[in-house]
Chains A and B, each alone.
Chain A
């Protein structure tokens, strides 16, 4: 289904203060824990790790032609089945076919962005299959019929009271607003699903090329349950998740846990190589492209694909912290969402998002794999406004004419000075002391929040008089 244009401003005007408070509380905690974890590592060592993580991912991304066939060979050798999905349609079809072969009725899923990206749940449900998200946050969000509001903490926007009410309404149980009890209720329900499911679906955090190993990290153990209990396991993994070797994995795991939650290591790190002693009878790996190879052609923006989904950029982003996850209009949230969405969904749909940043740069500094997010935001703003070799501009050409007039006037010294003089005349009727409290559109977008300072361009006159 084509996604309509994401109107970021309208979305931000609908945000509830409740959501903002919950978001800020949780991001603050995550960042504090992150800071502690990094202090233990030491700043220099941390910077060295970041650089190593960046280099590993960039090397892999620019050598996918080498590593992806390696993954395919190793997984096949070990008895797994590898599928290549060019886009979401193909990916859904592959999963539906596997499900049909095994007459699957119930599926348990561990948290996966790739499956959300291809809207897999809806396709499965349309085929009459019951799908259960098993990450606690995802489970809650699924029950509520909502979307995740944070990359790693999907239900961050809901309080324990909200969740208790939701459990009472949807599960018909007596649920007090107590995290421990709520957790136990969900655990009980999920345990039944794990045991009765006939297929498990997961994403993947990393794919290790040298052994064809799928790596899934979780803090709840649900990933292990999903991939080990049901007889069939299907993993849907973006092609950008591949890394060359286990040495690299050690670096990535250190970065991911510390960046996301401040842990030294996530509670469960599942290393799945098909044909192992435990695990499902059948293992399928769906390698998903869905626009990624197109993204890779863009030398500036392709670093986007290095993302390990730690959520730190969202945690630190002052914009995200004031709008929450839903304002981004799709599953791609925060600074990383603002650069992924325009590339995956196109600038027609997500052209607002690269502008949803004050370019403060905090995201780039915090990113464990050193993705230059601010640079990519600028690169995509350019795509939206002037167009580039990957997409044509989507803003009105009138803006371009306006910019041409603006750059010409500002770039011509006498026009620039004339402009300043005219502004001084223009401001006379608005001026109250040193300030212009209200101004006509579009400048009222500034004065709705604070007055504009009065023009005082007398420096050159002063300079000449001296």
Chain B
């Protein structure tokens, strides 16, 4: 099995440890990873800001990087996959070559945990992480990709890990991309709620499968010097005793 690594711009620039762990887990499961050099940003931040026609250039670049590759395209982010899967086809008029390419490429783009559980059909990746862990469901993965059980199934199979439910698990953490910059006070209030429920859960670690939310939640925990640590799912799955 081959996987093209879709790093995502937030992943590449802020969470390289999680990316390295994603590679480690994939290779452990016998997946051959490749990394298309020409990839940059999928364009979602611009699209969601309203610059939808300007997003086309970024989508073209992304398709140039990934369009001619083989196998699944795997990303440590549900949001970027949701975007590529559902918006790219809308950016190019039906019937054009670019539309067809977008459609074909989008169809093999897959979020990390869904790739493991649904494509590789693996839940036990041989990880060990003897801590109390809770899970925050990121919005775009959850509602855009139906990503609900996969991360939790993976976590439950981790040796020594105790999965604690998070109240309001499916409530937005307040990141929202551009939203956090346009309405920072509201974003902060939402983030603080999320951080409070995480603290109240009694977990030592909160797992987030999304670079954007991870930035937000990890930052929020850091701000109040919380003992709770925010980690990407890949980091847990790469852990060994």
Chain A residues closer than 8 Å to B157, beta-carbon distance: none
How many interface contacts (CB-CB < 8 Å) are there between A and B? 185
Q: Is the CB of A8 within 8 A of B174?
A: no
Q: Is the CB of A411 within 8 A of B185?
A: no
User: Are A413 and B14 neighbours in the complex by a CB distance under 8 Å?
Assistant: no
Residue of A nearest to B34 (CB): A463
Report whether B143 and A365 are in contact in the complex, using a CB–CB cutoff of 8 Å: yes
Q: Does B165 contact A (CB under 8 A)?
A: no
| CB closest chain-B residue, reference A323 | B186
* Residue A40 at the chain B interface, CB threshold 8 Å: no
B163 within 8 A of A: no
Most central of B20, B39, B50, B175 by chain A CB within 10 Å: B50
Cβ-defined contact, A411 with B220, below 8 A: no
| Contact (Cβ within 8 A) B51 A407 | yes
Cα-based distance from A407 to B189 in the complex (angstroms): 30
Q: Counting CB contacts under 8 A, is B129 at the interface?
A: no
Residues A362 and B16 in contact, CB atoms below 8 Å apart: no
A453 vs B13: C-alpha distance when bound (angstroms): 10
Task: Flag if B40 contacts A386 (CB, 8 Å).
Answer: no
Beta-carbon contacts under 8 Å, B11-27 to A: 12-17, 19-20, 23
CA distance A420 to B220 in the complex (A): 24
Q: Which of B41, B49, B177, B216 contacts A416 (CB under 8 A)? A: B41
Q: Quick check: B46 and A407 within 8 Å, CB to CB?
A: yes
Decide if B181 touches A442 in the complex (CB within 8 Å): yes
Known: A358-B190, A385-B50. A407 touches B57 (CB 8 A): yes
Return chain B residues, CB-CB under 8 Å to A413.
Answer: 37-40, 61
Cβ contact within 8 Å between A411 and B58:
yes
A455 touches B179 (CB 8 A): no
A435 to chain B, nearest CB (A): 6
Is A446 a contact partner of B180 (Cβ separation < 8 A)? yes
| Contact residues in B for A460 (Cβ distance below 8 Å) | 12, 35, 37
> Does the CB pair B139–A382 fall under 8 Å?
no
Complex interface bits, A343-386 against B, C-beta within 8 A gives 1, otherwise 0: 00000000000111111111011000000000000100111111
Tell yes or no: A125 within 8 A of B by CB. Answer: no
* Residues in B neighbouring A384, C-beta threshold 8 A: 50
- A-side interface size class: 35 or more
Interface residues of A in 427-466 (CB under 8 A from B): 435, 442, 445-446, 448-460, 462-463
Instruction: Note all chain B residues with C-beta closer than 8 A to A423.
Output: 13
Across the interface, do A360 and B139 meet the contact criterion of CB distance under 8 Å?
yes
* A386 B139 Cβ-Cβ under 8 A: no
Given contacts A319-B186, A355-B178, A450-B223, contact A456 B50 (CB under 8 A): no
Whether the pair B40, A416 counts as a contact (CB closer than 8 A) is yes
Interface string of B209-220 (1 = CB under 8 A from A): 000000110111
> Does A176 lie at the interface of the complex (its beta carbon under 8 Å from any beta carbon of B)?
no
The answer on a CB contact under 8 Å between A452 and B219 is yes
Q: Is A269 an interface residue (CB 8 A)?
A: no
Q: Is B104 an interface residue (CB 8 A)?
A: no
Q: Are A403 and B51 in contact (CB-based, < 8 A)?
A: yes
Closest Cβ of chain A to B124, distance in Å, is 26
A404 at interface, CB cutoff 8 A: yes
Q: B196 at interface (Cβ–Cβ under 8 A)? A: no
Are A448 and B16 closer than 8 Å at their CB atoms?
A: no
Q: Is the CB of B54 within 8 A of A404?
A: yes
Tell me the smallest distance from the CB of A290 to a CB of chain B, in Å.
Answer: 26
| Bound form: Cα–Cα A359–B12 in Å | 23
Q: Is the CB of B144 within 8 A of A459?
A: no
Query: In the complex where A359-B177, A416-B41 touch, is A449 in contact with B172 (Cβ < 8 A)?
Result: no
Cβ of A400 under 8 Å from chain B: yes
Q: A360, B185: Cβ atoms under 8 Å? A: no
Most buried by B among A322, A359, A451: A359
| A410 part of interface (Cβ distance < 8 Å) | yes
Q: Within residues 313 to 361 of chain A, which ones have a CB less than 8 A from any CB in chain B?
A: 318-319, 322-323, 354-361
Say yes or no: A358-B172 contact (C-beta < 8 A), given A381-B50, A411-B61: yes
Q: Which residue of A lies closest to B42 (CB)?
A: A410
- Give min CB distance, A136 to chain B, whole Å: 30
Tell whether, in the assembled complex, residue B35 and residue A358 are in contact, meaning their CB atoms are under 8 Å apart: no
Q: Are A449 and B220 in contact (CB under 8 A)?
A: yes
Docked-complex contact B219 and A358, CB < 8 angstroms: no
Is the CB–CB distance between B48 and A378 below 8 Å?
Answer: yes
Q: Are A359 and B48 in contact (CB under 8 A)?
A: yes
Q: B57, A318: Cβ atoms under 8 Å?
A: no
Q: Are A456 and B144 in contact (CB under 8 A)?
A: no
Query: Is B184 in contact with A448, judged by CB distance below 8 angstroms?
Result: yes
Q: Is the CB of A358 within 8 A of B143?
A: no
Q: Cβ of A181 < 8 Å from any Cβ of B?
A: no
Of listed A449, A451, A460, residue having the most chain B CB within 10 A: A449
Q: Is A180 an interface residue (CB 8 A)?
A: no
Q: Which residues of A contact B222 (CB under 8 A)?
A: 435, 450-451
A-B contact pairs, 23 of them (CB 8 A): A356-B186, A358-B174, A358-B176, A359-B177, A359-B179, A361-B140, A361-B142, A381-B48, A382-B50, A382-B52, A407-B46, A407-B57, A410-B58, A411-B43, A412-B40, A412-B61, A413-B37, A420-B12, A456-B17, A457-B12, A457-B16, A460-B35, A463-B35
Interface residues of A (CB under 8 A from B): 8-9, 12-13, 318-319, 322-323, 354-362, 364-365, 378, 381-386, 395, 400, 403-404, 406-408, 410-413, 416, 420, 423, 435, 442, 445-446, 448-460, 462-463
Closest 10 CB pairs of A and B: A358-B176, A385-B50, A450-B219, A360-B172, A449-B188, A381-B50, A361-B143, A360-B139, A459-B16, A445-B184
